[in-house]
Chain A
Amino acid sequence: MNKTDLLFYLGVFLFCSGLLMVFTKKNAIMILMGIELMLNAANLNLVAFNQSTPGLDGQLFALFIIIVAVCEAAVGIAILLKAYRFYQTVVPDQFRDLHEKL
């Protein structure tokens, strides 16, 4: 197994683990962690395939992905805090009502 194959399989494993966490875990913070894993898998693939091209485009794209991932995490946690204050839980299955509690 050469280096690119190993890195590609690691990226596939990370992406699928993130997908599995997003689908199976009940806690919303675990879902956010799964999304982070998927973004990291994309980064790993970009950097690994950048090895076989002369430029630095893959690494720069990975840099911008990191920036967007940070924004996503910050806004996601803020929304979760707001939802926790409203529903007293962070399990998305229990976000049932769209109206205010009476």
Chain B
Amino acid sequence: MILQEIILYALAGTCTGSVLLMIAHKNLMYAALGLMGCLISLAGIFALLHAEFLAATQLLIYAGGVLVLIIFGIMLTNRIAGKPLLTAATHWFFGIALTVGVASVLIISYHETQFESRIASQISMNSQAIGIELMSTYVAPFEVSGVLLLVCLVGAAFTASWFKKHPHE
């Protein structure tokens, strides 16, 4: 149990450090690297919380798919001839003020709330249970999300595709 706690604290620390790197660094590629560290450590946290299916999904979809997509976006939207991919930041004062406000509201409301302390029944076969739930209780959102993914795929491909015969050229 103590080993689990140590690993949990280490993963939380890694996540925090990666996010701080993302905020502080000016280079876009380093920010993408920080996002990768954050996502992978979150997958580790999910695995520690007995959400193995979600951890695998996080690794496959976020660290494998979304991150590659973001790096593609960085490379395609910058002229990378020579100069590094820098980004600027503005409105630090308003941003930090808003962030501190939101954080204080969240933390105060967390401490004001009385949670029922129920001990979870540990489900040993997490993937099997999620599969059964997806195919029984949550079958309607499952199908809708399939349709949503298809629509997104077609829409994104259509939006990003480049037609040579543009009507204004």
Q: How large is the interface on B (under 10, 10 to 19, 20 to 34, 35 or more residues)?
A: 35 or more
A61 to chain B, nearest CB (A): 9
B70 touches A33 (CB 8 A): yes
- A21-B22, A29-B28, A64-B145 known; A80 and B69 CB under 8 Å? no
A87 to chain B, nearest CB (A): 10
Instruction: Count how many chain A residues have C-beta atoms less than 8 Å from C-beta atoms of the other chain.
Output: 62
1-56 of chain B: CB within 8 A of chain A: 5, 8-9, 12, 15-16, 19-20, 22-23, 28, 31-32, 35, 38-39, 42, 45-46, 49-51, 53-54
A24 touches B77 (CB 8 A): no
B18 to chain A, nearest CB (A): 10
6 tightest CB-CB pairs across the interface, nearest first? A23-B95, A27-B87, A71-B152, A78-B160, A78-B156, A78-B159
Q: Which residues of B contact A (CB under 8 A)?
A: 5, 8-9, 12, 15-16, 19-20, 22-23, 28, 31-32, 35, 38-39, 42, 45-46, 49-51, 53-54, 57-58, 61-62, 65-66, 69-70, 72-74, 76-78, 87-92, 94-96, 98-100, 102-103, 106-107, 110, 115-121, 123, 126, 129-130, 133-134, 138, 141, 145, 148-149, 152-153, 155-157, 159-160, 162, 168
